[in-house]
Amino acid sequence: MVRARQSDIAAHAGVSEATVSRVLNNHPGVSEATRQTVLTSLDVLGFERPTYLRRKSAGLVGLILPELTNPIFPAFAQIIESALARQGYTPILCTQTAGGVHEDEYVELLLDHGVCGIINISGLHADTEADLARYFRLRELGLPLVLVNGEVPGLAVPAIINDDVAAVELAVAHLVELGHRRIGLAAGPVRFVPVVRKTAGFRAAMTRLTGATPRTLDDLVDNQLFTVEGGATAAARLLDRGVTAIVAASDLMALGAVRAVRSRGLRVPEDVSIVGHDDSQLVAFTDPPLTTIRQNVMAMAEAAVVALLDEIRGSDASRAEYVYTPELVVRGSTAASPVRVVRTPVVTARRRTPRAVQGR
């Protein structure tokens, strides 16, 4: 352990050594602003705070993620952890991997550590084949719980949701405006709630904007894993079916789609346009920069923290479904269709503002 040298702290904080001494010995006569400046200098210089000056944790909070491979999940984690820390809570990050620790095992571990509550992002609550009774058992224990991007019908907990239907509507409307009519959806596994919603939004938008029939739409959706490889496989199959544009269910799948297009000697966007989903970090710097649907991660993550703290403090006001409307971000991976088509009037996809829908 490194003991603080008052001269170093005073120089860094821009105060006298006498002021540093008063702060370190918890004596009066120092303004709160100056006190915080001295303590910040102590932290920055790597010195250990005296025990009585250390930040006291308000409690532990579990944060469960499905993975860290997809950049959207580390983005959620970073914002949530920072927001919790600002409120004095210590987050415990639990990340699942294939063949690794199961969500239920993480929950038991968190309960053993006496957590105040749990934020669960895209967990089993997003899997239509999962047994959702596990979440009702947690509520019976009185554990504050917030679910992100998924649903448990009838469970009275805050749910923070990206509007997946609106997301695909925005992507399809953008591509139709560019003259595309044969548009494919590279989606994830069919059992996941966001995939169900994206597929429904895709079919509705394509029917409304292009007049596609249900039979045609069956050929325009391909379900694979939420990975680069999954996106490449889905894109290859969709290209075989003659699409000129692809909407991907994630940015990773979109990057795989770019790979599949290029493997055939085609160009993005001159021959095939591609739209991703999430606006993950660095996709603005890919080749070409990726047109994508931006998930409002900042607002959703902060809302999850606020809702959880309300639950911890005993408020029922936050027990609602909060749906956040995404945003279309146009970059270089989309362009006019290479196929000449007769332009028809296009009805722009609905753009909705974040809303709270009471109940489940």
Q: What is the DSSP letter of 127?
A: B
Place of tokens 């992100």: 148
Q: How far is CA 52 from each of CA 13, 39, 47, 55, 86, rounded to the nearest angstrom?
A: 20, 12, 14, 9, 19
- Positions of E strands within the chain: 59-65, 89-95, 117-121, 145-148, 159-162, 183-187, 221-223, 245-248, 273-278, 291-294, 320-324, 327-329, 355-358
Q: Tokens standing for 108?
A: 């038991």
User: Do residues 138 and 346 lie in contact, with contact meaning Cβ atoms separated by under 8 Å?
Assistant: no
First to last CA, the chain: 51
Q: Topology of domain 59-162+298-324, per CATH? A: Rossmann fold (3.40.50)
pLDDT of residue 341: 44
CA distances from 144 to 14, 73, 94, 261 (A): 44, 21, 17, 46
Strand order in the sheet with 159-162: 89-95, 59-65, 117-121, 145-148, 159-162, 320-324, 355-358
Task: List, by residue range, all CATH 3.40.50.2300 domains of the chain.
Answer: 59-162+298-324, 164-295+327-358
Residue showing tokens 């009585």: 52
Long-range contacts made by residues 16-22, C-beta under 8 angstroms, separation at least 24?
A: none
> How many residues are present in the chain?
360
Contact 81, 91 (CB under 8 A): yes
Q: Given the structure tokens 């001494």, which residue do they identify?
A: 21
Contacts (Cβ under 8 Å, ≥6 apart) of 142: none
What type of residue is 262? R
- Per the structure block, which two tokens stand in for 91? 């987050």
Best CA proximity match to 302, nearest among 82, 74, 64: 82
CATH domain 164-295+327-358 topology: Rossmann fold (3.40.50)
Per-residue pLDDT of the chain (360 residues; tens, 9 = 90+): 344 588 888 998 899 999 988 888 888 888 878 888 888 788 777 777 776 665 556 789 999 999 888 899 999 999 999 999 888 898 999 998 777 789 999 999 999 888 999 999 999 999 999 999 999 999 888 899 999 999 899 998 999 999 999 999 999 999 999 999 999 999 999 999 999 999 999 999 999 999 999 999 999 999 999 999 999 999 999 999 999 999 999 999 999 999 999 999 999 999 999 999 999 988 999 999 999 999 999 999 999 999 999 988 887 656 688 999 999 999 999 999 997 544 444 444 444 444 444 433
Tokens 């250390």 belong to 54
CA 49 to chain centre: 35
| pLDDT of the residue at 56 | 55
